[in-house]
Amino acid sequence: MNPPRSRCVLVVDDDPSIRLLLVTFLRRRGLRVLEARDGREALVRMRDGDVDLVTLDLTMPEVSGWQVLAIRAADPLLRQIPIIVVSAKNECDVASGVLDKNVYAVIEKPFDLDVFAAAVMACLDSGDGRPALAAA
């Protein structure tokens, strides 16, 4: 019998320091973590089929988080992957309206790592990634 597959989180942010912080933080909690520096990379990794959850910045060059959400909404396979938006306050104010687009939670930068961890673990533990949290 094969051991269970470790849950995998894709961290998407164009800021290398934020990516490093989140990747390190999640790995210390025993999760497998992939990273992407923009929406284009995120979509490729999401299509690889090994992602259980995406943390997504909205403001990125080339392909933004907003574009990732739109492409994901139109793709039945990608639509199954839950997303937690982690973005700047002005973006989060707008993003709170995306909770109805199967976005699990919206977390405002700068954020508390305990709030971030709680959202990630609650989403992974829910099993379906349906929206359950208000903007944090």
- Beta pairing partners, 36: 12
Q: Check residue 133 and give its pLDDT.
A: 41
Strand runs (DSSP E) across 26-135, as ranges?
A: 32-36, 53-56, 83-88, 103-109
Predicted TM-score (pTM) of the model is 0.85
User: Using one digit for the tens of pLDDT, what is the confidence trace for 74-131?
Assistant: 999 899 899 999 987 665 555 555 555 678 888 888 889 999 999 999 999 886 554 4
**Complete domains list, the chain, with CATH:** 8-125 (3.40.50.2300)
- The token pair at 54 is 């995406």
pLDDT-based confidence at residue 6 (cuts at 50, 70, 90): confident
Cβ atoms of residues 43 and 63 within 8 Å = yes
User: Using one digit for the tens of pLDDT, what is the confidence trace for 15-59?
Assistant: 999 999 999 999 999 999 999 999 999 999 999 978 999 999 988
